[in-house]
Amino acid sequence: MKTTAIITIILISAVVCAAQPDMTKSVVMLQVVKQPFDYSTPWKQSSFSQGVGSGFLIEGNRILTNAHNISDNRYIIVKKENFAKKYPAVVEFVGHDCDLALLKILDETFFDGTQPVQLGDLPEVDKTVTTYGFPMGGTHISVTKGVVSRIQTDVYVHSGADAHLVIQTDAAINPGNSGGPVVFDGNVVGVAFQGLTQADNIGYMIPTTVIKHFLLDVNDGKYDGFGSLGINVFAALHNESYKDYLKLPPDTQGVVVTSVLLNSSAEKVLQRNDCITQIDNYDIDNDGMIMIYGQKYHLSEQVETKQIGETVNITFWRDGKQQTAQLVIQLNRPVFEVARLYDDPPPYVCFAGLTFVSANRNYLETWGRDWLSDIPHILRYLLNDSIHLNTDPLRKEYVVLSEILPRTSS
- SS3 letters across 198-254: CCCCCEEEEEHHHHHHHHHHHHHCCCCCCCECCEEEECCCCCHHHHHHCCCCCCCCC
Using only C-alpha atoms, what is the Rg of the chain?
23
Closest CA to 256 of 318, 300, 330, 312: 318
Q: Is 200 labeled as catalytic in the residue annotation?
A: no
> What is the dihedral sign for C-alpha 291, 295, 296, 299?
negative
From 13, 71, 178, 265, the catalytic residue = 178
With H, G, I as helix, E, B as strand and everything else as coil, classify residue 364. helix
C-alpha distances in Å from residue 314, one per residue of 192, 267, 279, 280, 304: 34, 14, 4, 6, 15
Strand-pair category, 275-279 with 282-283: antiparallel
Catalytic, 159? Answer no
The DSSP letter of residue 307 is: P
Q: Which of 13, 71, 96, 99 is catalytic?
A: 99
Contact 93, 58 (CB under 8 A): no
Backbone dihedral angles phi then psi of residue 15, each to the nearest 5 degrees: -110, 135
Write out the H or E segment, with its range, that includes residue 385: helix 377-389
Is 178 known to be catalytic?
A: yes
Among the listed residues 68, 96, 164, 213, the single catalytic one is: 68
- 55 phi and psi angles, rounded to 5 deg: -160, 175
Query: Hey, what amino acid is at 17?
Result: C
Count of all residues that appear for the chain in the document: 410
- The DSSP code sequence of 65-130 is E-HHHHTTEEEEEEEETT---EEEEEEEEEETTTTEEEEEES-GGGGTT-----B--PPPTT-EEE
**Any idea which residues carry the catalytic annotation?**
68, 99, 178
